Each structure stands twice: as structure tokens, then as C-alpha cells.
């Protein structure tokens, strides 16, 4: 009798701990927001980025709109947004975003975008027009914009800052040593400089990072020190979750007590607000980050 080949066991991924619970999106408000997004042909990072808090946020009547399409010119290893060659962008999008914000009646609105590195202005004109239209149609609504780095073409940054949104966010996403893996087309120092320039412009600054990508505690603390030194007002820290099997795998799950430690340390450093927890994402509880 021939020997049977020994089947090798495939390595198992890291199992999710019991404190990591994601609620499925339900409820009337969730359906209302979903319909508004669909009817206005809008994109949200909630859906495209597979955000675990979509049910909670949409249930509360809020959403993070994503402008300039849903195809990104960059290929970050953590992000679920599609990568490729974007088509033509919609010049009517700023007006449609403004109409959706009015229909939702939100007090605080968050807007983000894909990277459009192929455009001469990197999308800055659409960004500025979107802020302008939202402020015109909903003057009492406060705005947070989560913007790309515009490849350090600072005139494009200032075109956005001139519209004076209440909060300007730009995520670091990870520690410096992991940039080549997590954000291969970004630069750590470039992102820090953008935050510093925004602060010098007189606006409230915000940034965030994911933990569980293989960083050390010392590197997390250094990231916090760097952000604090460059004028970051609001910090968000959350657990990285692998969106698909093609993306960067989770290296470890950070315990809620550790997130509490980072929150306490951040406040001691001088951050005005720190949102830190396993399920925290950049726009989670964003309405609290204005003041």
C-alpha cells in the first residue's frame, strides 16, 4: 500500500477576541440615510471602507461622505477602497453633497475623499467647492474634512483651508517604520508637515492611526509625540481590521485597557481630545471633536 501524502495544515489567522463586537446596521434612521445616499448617487467611506461603525453612525443620522469618486490612485495595504485609474469626476457633486446634508439635517458633517494624484490640482477645486456649497445650504452645520496630502503641493492645501472648515483632519494611519508597507505612496514627514501647516493657518487639526499592524508601544508613543509637536489637536486610535484576504493581515489585537492607556497618555501630552478604543475610526463621534 502506497503511503498517503501528509497534508500540511494551513496556518490559522489570529482569532478575534470577545471584546471586538460589531453590530449589524439596522433601524429606520439607517434606512433613511442609505436611501438619501443612494438617491443622490453619493459615495460614503462608511460603505466603501467597510467601516464597522456604519450601523451606529447611520442610525444616528450621520454619515461620512466621500467625494471625487470611489476609485483611488493609491494602493494602501489596509484600505478597502478600490484602487485604479479613476474616471472623470462629477462637477455637480458639491451641490449634491450639500443637498444630502440638508436633507439629513445633520449638525455636524464629515467629508473625505479618495486620492486623485492624476489631477493637476489633486482634487482641491472640488474640495473647496464642496465645502462652500455645504456652508451655503446648511450654514449652522459644522464641517470636518478628512483630506489627502495633495503630494505636498501646498497651494492645493491652502485652497481647501481658505474655506475654513471647523476641523481639518489628515490621518497618519500608522507609525513611521511601517509606512512602506501600510502607506507606500505616502511620506511620514510630509503628513506631519501638512498638519503643522494647517495648524499655522489657524484651524483645528486632527489625525488618527490604526493599531495592530505590527507596531511597538515605543513607536506608538513616538507617533503621538510627533503629532503633538506638529500641532495636532485631536487624536483617534483604533484597532486595524483586515477588510479582505488581499489586504494587510492583523498582527495583533490591542486590548481595550491599552487603548485607555493611550488615551490617558495623549491627554497628558496636551491633545485637546483623544478618542481611543478598538472600534474607533477617524470620524467616530466626530461631532465631539469640534470644540
pTM of the model: 0.84
Query: What local confidence, expressed as pLDDT, does residue 59 receive?
Result: 52
Cell 486620492 belongs to 115
Cα(127)–Cα(59) distance, rounded to whole angstroms? 27
Q: Is 98 in contact with 131 (CB distance < 8 Å)? A: no
Which whole-number Å values give the CA distances from 277 to 175, 243, 262, in the listed order? 17, 18, 9
Query: What local confidence, expressed as pLDDT, does residue 91 receive?
Result: 85
Query: What local confidence, expressed as pLDDT, does residue 160 receive?
Result: 98
The three-class DSSP label of residue 142 is strand
Nine-digit cell at 223?
Answer: 507617533
CA-based max dimension of the chain:
82
Query: What local confidence, expressed as pLDDT, does residue 49 receive?
Result: 47
Neighbours of 251 (CB within 10 A): 13
Query: What local confidence, expressed as pLDDT, does residue 2 receive?
Result: 43
How many alpha carbons fall within 13 Å on the CB side of residue 283?
A: 27
The three-class DSSP label of residue 67 is strand
Cα(9)–Cα(6) distance, rounded to whole angstroms? 9
Nine-digit cell at 212?
Answer: 495592530
Cell 452645520 belongs to 141
Query: What local confidence, expressed as pLDDT, does residue 74 receive?
Result: 92
Any alpha helices (H) in 60-153, and if so which ranges?
Answer: 93-104, 124-137
Query: What local confidence, expressed as pLDDT, does residue 52 receive?
Result: 58
Strand residue runs (E) in 42-172:
43-44, 64-67, 71-72, 82-83, 108-113, 142-146, 167-169
Residues in the chain predicted with pLDDT less than 50, given as ranges, are: 1-11, 48-49
* Domains of the chain in sequence order: 28-289 (3.20.20.70)
- Nearest CA among 177, 164, 163, 175 for reference residue 129: 163
Query: What local confidence, expressed as pLDDT, does residue 1 receive?
Result: 41
Query: What local confidence, expressed as pLDDT, does residue 82 receive?
Result: 85
Q: Is 210 in contact with 239 (CB distance < 8 Å)? A: yes
How many alpha carbons fall within 13 Å on the CB side of residue 282?
A: 28
Nine-digit cell at 130?
Answer: 464642496
| Distinct helix (H) and strand (E) counts, the chain | 10, 10
Query: What local confidence, expressed as pLDDT, does residue 7 receive?
Result: 42
CA angle 205, 169, 105 (to 5 degrees): 105
Amino acid at each position: 500500500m502506497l503511503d498517503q501524502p501528509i497534508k500540511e495544515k494551513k496556518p490559522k489567522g489570529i482569532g478575534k477576541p470577545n471584546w471586538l463586537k460589531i453590530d449589524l446596521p439596522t433601524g429606520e434612521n439607517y434606512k433613511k440615510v442609505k436611501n438619501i445616499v443612494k438617491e443622490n448617487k453619493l459615495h460614503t467611506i462608511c460603505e466603501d471602507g467597510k467601516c464597522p461603525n456604519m450601523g451606529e453612525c447611520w442610525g444616528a443620522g450621520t454619515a461620512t461622505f466621500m467625494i471625487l469618486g470611489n476609485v483611488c490612485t493609491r494602493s494602501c495595504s489596509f484600505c478597502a477602497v478600490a484602487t485604479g485609474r479613476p474616471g472623470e469626476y462629477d462637477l455637480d457633486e458639491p451641490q449634491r453633497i450639500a443637498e444630502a446634508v440638508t436633507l439629513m439635517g445633520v449638525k455636524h458633517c464629515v467629508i473625505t475623499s479618495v486620492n486623485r494624484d492624476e489631477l493637476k490640482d489633486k482634487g482641491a477645486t472640488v474640495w473647496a467647492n464642496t465645502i462652500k456649497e455645504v456652508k451655503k445650504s446648511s450654514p449652522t452645520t459644522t464641517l470636518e474634512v478628512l483630506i489627502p496630502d495633495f503630494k505636498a503641493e501646498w497651494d492645493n492645501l491652502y485652497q481647501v483651508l481658505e474655506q475654513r472648515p471647523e476641523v481639518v483632519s489628515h490621518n497618519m494611519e500608522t507609525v513611521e517604520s511601517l509606512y512602506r508597507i501600510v502607506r507606500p505612496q505616502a511620506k511620514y514627514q510630509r503628513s506631519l508637515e501638512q498638519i503643522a501647516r494647517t495648524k499655522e493657518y489657524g484651524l483645528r487639526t486632527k489625525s488618527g492611526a490604526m493599531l495592530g499592524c505590527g507596531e511597538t508601544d515605543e513607536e506608538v508613543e513616538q507617533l503621538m509625540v510627533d503629532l503633538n509637536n506638529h500641532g495636532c489637536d485631536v487624536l483617534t486610535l483604533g484597532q486595524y481590521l483586515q477588510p479582505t484576504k488581499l489586504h494587510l493581515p492583523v498582527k495583533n489585537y490591542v486590548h481595550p485597557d491599552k487603548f485607555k492607556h493611550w488615551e490617558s497618555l495623549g491627554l497628558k501630552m496636551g491633545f485637546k481630545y483623544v478618542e481611543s478604543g478598538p472600534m474607533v475610526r477617524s470620524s467616530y463621534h466626530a461631532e465631539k471633536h469640534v470644540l
